Every structure is written in C-alpha cells, then in structure tokens.
Copies of this chain bind each other. A is one copy, B any other.
Amino acid sequence: MDISILSEKLNHTLATLRYGEQPSELYEPIRYIMSLGGKRIRPMLVLLSAQMFDDDIEKALLPAAGVEVFHNFTLMHDDIMDKAPLRRGQQTVHEKWNANIAILSGDVMLVRAYQLMAQAEPDKLPRVLELFSNTAAEVCEGQQLDMNFEQRTEVSIQEYIRMITLKTAVLVGFSLELGAILQGAPDEDAEHLRLFGNNIGIAFQLRDDLLDVYGDKDKFGKQVGGDILSDKKTFLMLTALEQATGEQLETIKSWRNITQNHTSEAKVQAITTVYDQLSIRQQTEQEIDRYFKEALRHLDAIAVADERKATLRGLALQLMERDS
C-alpha cells in the first residue's frame, strides 16, 4: 500500500483521539505534546508491518496510535528527569506547566496508551498486552541505565549498546512485531520483524551519535558537537576512550567538565581531532552497517513476497539516508 495513504489514515486516527477534558490541567498537556508533531515513525512501522500481511489495516490503527501515545508519555517523563527546557523546539510540559502536572499527565498518557492497545482483537489481546508491557518496562530500564551512565566514569561499549537497545530499539522492534501480530502473521515472521526493528533501532541511534559530530549542521538541525560539549558518553566517545592512549587520552580527559561558552569551539575541535586520528567515524559507520545488514537479513527472511516488503525497506533506507 502507498505510504501516503497509510500516513493519512494514521494522522486522521491521531487527530481524532480523545484523551479527556476535566480537569484541564491533566489533559491539556497531553494534547499539547501530541500536537508538537514528530515523524510518527513508530506507528507508521506498525502499519507498514501490518500491510505486509493484510491490506485491511483498519484494526491496526488504534494500537498503532497507542504506540505513539506511549512514546510521547516517555518523552514527557524523560524531559522532567533530564530537566530539558525544549522538546521539538517548544517548551517542555514541565516548563510550560510544572513538574507535578508533567508527572500526572504522563501517568494518564500511559493509561491511554494501554486503552488503545486494548483495542486489539480479543484473540490477540493477551499476547499484545504481554509484549507491550515487557517493552514498556524495558524502555524504563533503558532510561534508568542512561541516567546511571551519566553518573559513572566508566561505561563499556557493550553496556552502551544494551542501554540504547532498551531505551530506543525495543520499541521500534515491538512496533513492527505488533503490526504482524494484529494481522495474524505467523510467529516466525513476527519475530523476524521484531529483530529487524531492534537492529534498525540500534543503527539509527548510532547514526544519531555520528551525525552529532560529523553531520551537516543545516540538515541535522542540532548544534554540531552538542554531545561532545555535554560530555555525553556516545558510541563515538566510548570507542575513543577504549582506543586512545597517551596524549590522545589526556586530551579527552582534560576537556571533561569544561563547559564555558568561549571554549566550546576549541573543545569540539580538540575531541574531533582525536576521533579523526582514531578513525572513529569509519569505525562507527562500519558498526551502523553491521546492524543495518543484520536488520535487512531479518527482513529478507520474512515469508511474504518482496513487493510487500518494498515500502518498509524503503522507509528503513530513508531513515538511514542510504540509497540501497
């Protein structure tokens, strides 16, 4: 099915969701965060997966919307924890209202996400709920690990991959698995879709890490080197820390916790030079490629005709900004 038709159906579903009215302090922030936009990637993945098995995707629409509501719930609560002032260029809920309202509105969003998920057909419901609940708990585990890593000096690359798997990739994997389950796909196909999603999710996060340093500033829309300036333990930084010796290691350590504005250009420059010396860019690209190829291997293994996979494959390539 054409992706623009799916997108239209999804947007109509999201636009007609009713969260509640009174007290308005509880429901206005939900409408607000849902109106900030975003690419709606996760619910689109639910629908793209669903249409692989059955052209009638109507029964996948509400659970797909549930994934987007859940995702925005995690953003609302994460923003409190991260003390983030902005989300998609607008004030975060805890800034525009206050932290208490952001906690409680977020709680109701999680309830609403479950209500949408519970619109799955009754014979699919126990499995959908079990997978959704496991995924939801894993996303929370990922957020907790992310906060823990900020306090730790040493984090291994393996630990980092585990964290981004939980925080980001499992929800991508669940979205794809959900679409398959709702359409009654065979278990092995649902499993391949989940693993396709998990690997795409990891690749996408690593690409995000890469673009922070090596991205086109205008295209990427964020300050280049933001992760370096905030001493974030990204895949690039952890790889560099593992491989740097002598002077390189000294350089990295000497810039830690230095956050003045007038030195920021020098800091990005210095760390990037070390990255270049260690070929961190190439190593990261290789790692992204490895996860991306593993993802495609699972897409290939799904027992449906190639033309049914084309739109999903196209979106994956587009997310990776690759031609093939």
Contact = CB atoms under 8 A, between A and B. Distances in A.
A240 interface: no
A317 interface: no
Interface stretch (A33-41, A49-57, A114-122): A114-122
Contacts of A136: 111
A26 B144 contact: yes
Given A126-B125, A141-B23, A133 B104 contact: no
A142 B143 CA distance: 28
Q: By CB atoms of chain B within 10 A, which of A104, A112, A115, A136 has the most?
A: A104
A77 interface: yes
A154 interface: no
Interface in A94-141: 99-101, 103-104, 106-108, 110-112, 114-115, 118, 122-123, 125-126, 129-130, 133, 136-137, 140-141
Main secondary structure of the interface of A (DSSP, over half): helix
Nearest to A80: B103
17 contacts: A20-B141, A23-B141, A23-B144, A23-B148, A80-B103, A81-B100, A81-B103, A99-B99, A100-B147, A104-B144, A107-B107, A110-B110, A111-B133, A115-B129, A115-B133, A122-B125, A122-B126
